[in-house]
Amino acid sequence: MINISDLSVRIGQRSILSDINIEIEDGKWTCLVGPNGAGKTTLLKSLLGSLPYSGSITDNGVEVFRNHDRNVAFVPQHPQIPIGMGVGEYVMMGRSKRDGWGNESSHSRKMVVDILKLTGLFGMQSQHVSLLSGGEMQRALIARALVQEPTLILLDEPTSALDLHHQISVLNNIEILKERGVTIISTMHDITLAAMYAEKIVVMQEGKVLLNGTSDFVIHSPELKSAFENRINVYTLDSGRPVIVANKDLTS
Amino acid sequence: MIKNKSKGEDSGLAPIWNWKITAFAAALLLFVGILAISFGPVSLSFQEIIRTLLGLPGGLTGQDRTLLIDLRLPRALLAAVVGAALATSGAVYQTVFRNPLADPYLLGAAAGAGLGATIALTSAGADLRSLLPVFAFFGAISAVLVSFFISGKFFAEPNSLLLSGIAVGSFATAVQTYLQQRNSASLRPVYSWILGELTVANWQVVTWSSIYIFIALIILFTVSKQLDGLMLTDEEAYSLGINPNKLRVIAVVAATLATATAVSASGLIGFVGIVVPHLVRGLTHRVTNRGLLTIALVGASFLVLADLGARTLLSPAELPIGVITAFVGAPFFLFVLRKKRLVAQ
């Protein structure tokens, strides 16, 4: 259980997050949704320990920021792509924390090959990362996260900039992580997809948590509409799945 | 048959670094080094050189011995040390600034050293010529420090340091030009220093520059494996167990120490810092900083060879070594660049 209490982040004079209080269950997929600038990415960075914050984030009672041995994988929205690096080498970087930088055990090499096969990247290991398509790059990032054998994985907009076909393939890859008992926290633009895959949804607005609960609860809350300034409508399909669509009539 | 196939799949994952490449680079340096100390206006025999160096009987005597021990040997060693420093710093700057065009002189080190050297050469009161390396060293270090303090935002955005380095460099060059114009007798010595020269090599210069450069290189080789993490975003680096801010400071400080020492010992020798790292990466198909030692060895060999050319091509006259590095380095580099692109396709 990750417990976030009274979390606030300021950058200069600007308050990015204020008084965030949420609990994140182990082994579940929690999705952060909300408009741009709501503080979703900042919340992910605080969980990674790369940003100074006030308040506390504890993982099973241990203050996360002070526990550097924690193995947290991070899939960024805009990765920095090392020019000239091969896919195999790139994914192998995920083992650095386990093996120690500069070492690669035969166990790690075997694991990297297995994960490349699992994510459909096997055969491309010597291809340059810079030449990958958007969908392939996203899968390479998830492959790197998988070989990290993390207890927690943070994904920043894993499906943005992908077409529907690749969105689904990436989301299925994330499901593989969940089956391995990994706790997943992601941000996502598409609430319909979020509701379909994630068990928990946290709706954020202007640095605060507006709604927090199971996907069903959040999707059907009237507050969800107000978070998006009543610009969305929620429909339920015959199968019971919710669908969120933009509301064209802005005056409603 | 099936077993072979699965073995083949495993080997589809190339090792991150192959140490045979490093061993080859070391052998190359040794070979080039012996070549450099035996050729010149007076040729010395291989056998006698090796006997002299190992202290065996039957070595060189008299003038030949002095030529070897006091002239050619320190010069070759200085070329090797400076070449290793420039190539390694270049590779490290390229990683830290995530910019393939970064070179060791980027943060104002070159312009600062140039200004320091000009002050030493134009000072009217005392003869400061012998202190030129000291002036150049402090000029280089000061320029980089000023860049650091002005940028301030180094942690958040490495590129701001890069930009302030360029501004500080331009300022130092302006002051240097002003001093030169006021003292036109200094134009020629300053110009020849700027083009790089190893003619000043003696055991004293070799000793102090080796000490600083070795300290810097050992630090860089120690962190070299982790430097790969700086090719990613800071968040990715944190997630892979690296503190990118700390690592960047260590890498930049050590690379700057190496560069400042190299510049003050030998003037501005261009091209090595950009060409050699890319050459090694291109030929080995590896961008990892695990190849840093190899880059250092190839940089050393490259400069030793360039210096051999500088002093023998127009013998007995000498060419500035910077001319050779660019003249030979540029076409060779373009060749590798083209070949590499073909491989990538």
A118 contact B CB<8A: no
Q: Tens of pLDDT along B21-74?
A: 999 999 999 999 999 998 887 888 888 888 888 888 877 888 888 888 888 999
Tokens of A184: 């997943």
| Beta strand extents in A54-99 (DSSP E only) | 54-59, 62-63, 72-75
* Residue labelled with tokens 């810092």: B273
Structure token pair of residue A158:
């894993």
Whole-complex ipTM: 0.87
Is the pLDDT at B197 greater than 80? The verdict is no
| Distance, CA of A215 to CA of A213 (rounded, Å) | 6
Least confident of B32-41, B93-102, B271-280: B93-102
Among residues B325, B311, B217, the alpha carbon closest in space to that of B262 is found at B217
* Architecture in CATH of B19-33+46-52+61-344: Orthogonal Bundle (1.10)
User: Which are the contacts of A11, defined by CB distance < 8 A and separation ≥ 6?
Assistant: none
Instruction: Kindly give the residue spans of alpha helices, DSSP state H, lying in chain A.
Output: 40-48, 87-92, 96-99, 106-118, 134-147, 164-179, 191-197, 215-219, 222-227
For chain A, the straight-line distance linking the first and the last C-alpha, in angstroms and rounded, comes to: 40
Helix (H, G, I), strand (E, B) or coil at A169: helix
What is the chain B residue with the closest CA to A131?
Answer: B344
A196: helix, strand or coil:
helix
Inter-chain CB proximity A86 and B288 less than 8 Å: no
The residue of B235, B238, B337, B342 whose CB has the most chain A CBs within 10 angstroms, and thus the best one to mutate to test that interface, is B235
Q: What is the pLDDT of residue B344?
A: 43
Distances (CA, A) of A201 to A34, A73, A167, A210, B217: 10, 20, 19, 11, 50
Chain A residue at shortest CA distance from B242: A97
> Angle CA(B231)–CA(A155)–CA(A223) in degrees, nearest 5?
145
Q: Which of A42, A43, A44, A50 to mutate to test the interface with B (most CBs of B within 10 A)?
A: A50
Q: Which domains can be identified in chain A, with CATH numbers?
A: 1-70+151-227 (3.40.50.300), 83-144 (no CATH)
**Mean of the per-residue pLDDT values for chain B?**
84
DSSP bridge partners of A10: A15
Asked if the C-beta of A70 comes within 8 angstroms of chain B's C-beta atoms, the answer is no
Q: Mutating which of B5, B7, B11, B13 best tests the A interface, going by the most A Cβ atoms within 10 A? A: B13
Contact B240/A45, CB-based, under 8 Å?
no
Mean pLDDT is lowest, of A165-174, B135-144, B195-204, B307-316, for B195-204
Give the H/E segment covering residue A2. Answer: strand A2-11
Q: Above 50 in pLDDT, residue B249?
A: yes
Residues 6+ apart with CB under 8 A from B260: B109, B113, B136, B137, B140, B141, B144
| A78 touches B: beta carbon within 8 Å | yes
Nearest CA in chain B to A82: B231
B232 touches chain A (CB under 8 A): yes
What is the pLDDT averaged over residues B288-315?
92
Write out the two tokens for A12.
Answer: 């200069």
Residue A101 at interface with chain B, using a CB cutoff of 8 Å: yes
User: Is the distance from CB of B94 to CB of B295 less than 8 angstroms?
Assistant: no
Chain A residue numbers touching B15 (CB-CB < 8 A): 104
Using CA atoms, how far residue A47 sits from A63, B133, B230, B241, in Å, is: 11, 49, 20, 14
Taking CB atoms and an 8 Å cutoff, what residues of chain B touch A45?
Answer: 235
A80/B288 CB distance under 8 A = no
% of chain B residues with pLDDT over 90: 29
A39: DSSP letter: S
- Whether A131 sits inside 8 A of B344 (CB atoms) is yes
Residues of chain B positioned with their CB less than 8 A from the CB of A53: none
Give yes or no for B240 touching A (CB within 8 A): yes
State the pLDDT at residue B343: 44
Question: A48–B235: do the CB atoms touch at under 8 Å?
Answer: yes
DSSP A100: -
Rounded to whole angstroms, the Cα distance separating A47 from A151 reads 13
Nearest by CB to residue B344, choosing from A49, A82, A128, is A128
Partner B contacted by A181 (CB < 8 A): no
Distance from CA of B38 to the nearest CA of A (A): 39
Residue matched to tokens 């593989």: A176
Query: How far off is chain A from B233, nearest CA to CA, in Å?
Result: 5
- B331 part of contact set with chain A, CB < 8 Å: no
**DSSP class of residue A79?**
P
**Cβ separation A50–B9 shorter than 8 A:** no
As a three-state string, the secondary structure of chain B is CHHHHHHHHHHCCCCCCCHHHHHHHHHHHHHHHHHHHHCCCCCCCHHHHHHHHHCCCCCCCHHHHHHHHHHHHHHHHHHHHHHHHHHHHHHHHHHHCCCCCCCCCCCCHHHHHHHHHHHHHHCCCCCCHHHHHHHHHHHHHHHHHHHHHHHCCCCCCHHHHHHHHHHHHHHHHHHHHHHHHHCHHHHHHHHHHHCCCCCCCCHHHHHHHHHHHHHHHHHHHHHHHHHHHHHCCHHHHHHCCCCHHHHHHHHHHHHHHHHHHHHHHHCCCCCHHHHHHHHHHHHHCCCCHHHHHHHHHHHHHHHHHHHHHHHHCCCCCCCCHHHHHHHHHHHHHHHHHHHHHHHHC
pTM of the predicted structure, to 2 decimals: 0.86
Can you name the residues that pair with A186 across neighbouring β-strands? A31, A155
Nearest Cα of chain A lies from the Cα of B170 at a distance, in angstroms, of 29
Shortest Cα distance, chain A CAs vs residue B50, angstroms: 37
Map residue A243 onto helix, strand or coil. Answer: strand
Q: Does B13 touch chain A (CB under 8 A)?
A: yes
Say if residue B316 is preceded by a cis peptide, omega within 30 of 0: yes
Q: CB neighbours (10 Å) of residue A32? A: 27
How would residue B8 be classed by pLDDT, with cut points 50, 70 and 90? Answer: very low
Residue B200 has pLDDT above 80, yes or no: no
Residue of A nearest to B231 (CA): A82
pLDDT in tens, chain A (252 residues): 888 989 999 888 888 999 999 999 999 999 999 888 889 999 998 888 778 888 888 888 878 766 556 788 999 999 988 878 889 989 999 998 888 877 788 888 999 999 999 888 888 888 889 889 888 999 999 999 999 988 899 999 988 878 888 888 888 888 888 888 899 999 988 888 888 889 999 999 889 998 899 888 888 888 887 777 777 888 888 877 778 887 776 554
Question: Chains A and B: how many Cβ contacts under 8 Å?
Answer: 94
Between CA A230 and CA A227 the distance in angstroms is 7
Query: Which residues 142-161 in chain A show a CB within 8 A of chain B?
Result: 148, 154
Distance from CA of A27 to the nearest CA of B (A): 19
pLDDT value of position B307: 92
User: CB neighbours of B214 closer than 8 A, spacing ≥ 6?
Assistant: none
Q: What is the mean pLDDT of residues B257-279?
A: 88
Burial class (CB in 10 A: 0-12, 13-18, 19+), A68: exposed
**pLDDT at residue B342 is higher than 70:** no
Q: Tokens for B113?
A: 């050293």
- Which two tokens mark B286? 């590896």
